[in-house]
Structure 1
Amino acid sequence: MSNLYSYVNVDHPAPKCLATSQEIRDRGSAFVGNVYHASTPEEAKAAISHHRNVVHAGKKAYEISAWRCMVLKHGKSGLGGPDDFEVKAGYDDDGEQWAGSKVSRVMQHEGVLDAVVIVSRWFGGTLLGPARFAHIETCASEVCRTFKRVEEMEECISTLTRLDDMLASLRQELNDLTQNVDLATSGSTSARTASDEIENVKGRRSRQPDYTVVQRDLDITKARRLVGARESAVKSVKSLLSRKRIMLASTEAEV
Structure 2
Amino acid sequence: MSYIRIEKNETCEITEKKSRFIAYLAYVTTEEDAQNFVSQIKKKHYDARHNVYAYILNSGGKKYSDDGEPSKTAGYPILEMLENEGVTDVVCVVTRYFGGTLLGTGGLIRAYTKSAKDCLEKAGVKKMILCDVLSLTFDYAYLSKIEHMLKTENLVTKDKTFLENVTLTVVSPKDKTGALRENILNEFAGAVNFAVTGEIYN
Superposition TM-score tier, normalisation by shorter sequence: 0.5 to 0.7
Indicate the RMSD between aligned Cα atoms, in angstroms: 4.2
Q: Is the 8 A contact 2:94 2:116 kept in 1?
A: yes
- 1:222 aligns to what? none
TM-score (norm 1): 0.47
Deviation at 1:202, TM superposition (A): 5.8
- Within a 5 Å distance, the mapping from 1:134-173 to structure 2 comes to 134-143=110-119, 149-150=125-126, 152=127, 155-156=128-129, 159=131, 162=133, 165-166=134-135, 169=136, 172-173=137-138
Could you say which residue in structure 2 is the equivalent of 1:240?
187
Larger Rg: 1
| Paired position in structure 2 for 1:39 | 30
Q: Is the alpha carbon distance of 1:46 and 1:23 closer, same or farther for their aligned partners in structure 2, counting shifts above 3 Å?
A: same
Cα–Cα, structure 1 residues 70 and 125, in superposed 2: closer, same or farther, change >3 Å?
same
Q: Which has the higher helix share?
A: 1
TM-score scaled by length of structure 2: 0.56
Q: 1:144 to 1:128 in 2, by over 3 A?
A: same
Letter in 1 for 2:68: G
Q: Which runs of 5+ in 1 are unaligned?
A: 1-16, 72-86, 177-194, 211-225, 246-255
Name 1:95's counterpart in structure 2.
68
Q: Distance in 1 between matches of 2:143 and 2:74?
A: 62
1:110 is aligned to 2:81: no
Aligned residues between the structures: 162
Task: Kindly indicate whether residue 107 of structure 2 is the aligned counterpart of residue 131 of structure 1.
Answer: yes
Paired position in structure 2 for 1:29? 19
**Compared with structure 1, are the counterparts of its residues 21 and 125 closer, same or farther at alpha carbon in structure 2 (3 Å cutoff)?**
same
Considering fraction of residues, name the structure with more strand.
2
Pick from 1, 9, 17 the counterpart of residue 19 of structure 1: 9
1:121 deviates by 2.0
Checking the alignment, whether the CA contact within 8 Å between 1:117 and 1:140 is kept in structure 2 is yes
Cα distance between partner residues in 1 of 2:67 and 2:186: 61
- Regions of 4+ moved over 4 Å: 142-148, 202-205, 207-210, 230-236
Q: 1:38 to 1:52 in 2, by over 3 A?
A: farther
Structure 2 unaligned residues grouped into runs of 5+ = 1-6, 151-155, 160-171, 193-202
